[in-house]
């Protein structure tokens, strides 16, 4: 996806997407027009990458839920 640049009420919104497969991250970075004009392409890419990396770390660190089933004899069995 190519970045989408919106200008709203003196602010610049850069909408971007990073990732592949099922791990697609979509976000927007807001800044003033002056900040947008001053930021380098490299700095913008670093900010996007940092947001993506932080999101990916959270997503991959989430524990999976273990489902427990109790039968009539009160035996608890994990379901995988």
44 or 63, greater pLDDT? 44
Closest CA to 19 of 4, 3, 42, 1: 1
Q: Are 12 and 32 in contact (CB under 8 A)?
A: yes
pLDDT digits (tens, 9 = 90+) for 1-50: 678 888 988 899 999 999 988 889 999 999 999 999 999 999 999 999 99
Separation of alpha carbons 38 and 4, rounded Å: 18
Q: Could you tell me the CA-to-CA distances from 4 to 15, 16, 28, 29, 71 in Å, in that order?
A: 5, 7, 9, 11, 54
Average pLDDT over residues 52-76: 80
Residue 71: per-residue pLDDT: 77
**What does pTM read for this prediction?**
0.70
pLDDT computed for residue 77 by the predictor: 66
- Residue 74 pLDDT: 73
32 close to 11: Cβ distance less than 8 angstroms: yes
């Amino acid at each position: 996806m190519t970045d989408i640049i919106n200008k709203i009420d003196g602010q610049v919104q850069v909408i971007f997407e990073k990732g592949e497969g099922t791990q697609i991250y979509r976000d927007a970075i807001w800044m003033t027009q002056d900040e947008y004009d001053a930021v380098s392409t490299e700095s913008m890419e670093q900010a996007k990458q940092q947001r993506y990396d932080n999101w990916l770390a959270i997503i991959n660190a989430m524990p999976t839920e273990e489902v427990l089933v109790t039968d009539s004899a009160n035996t608890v069995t994990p379901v995988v």
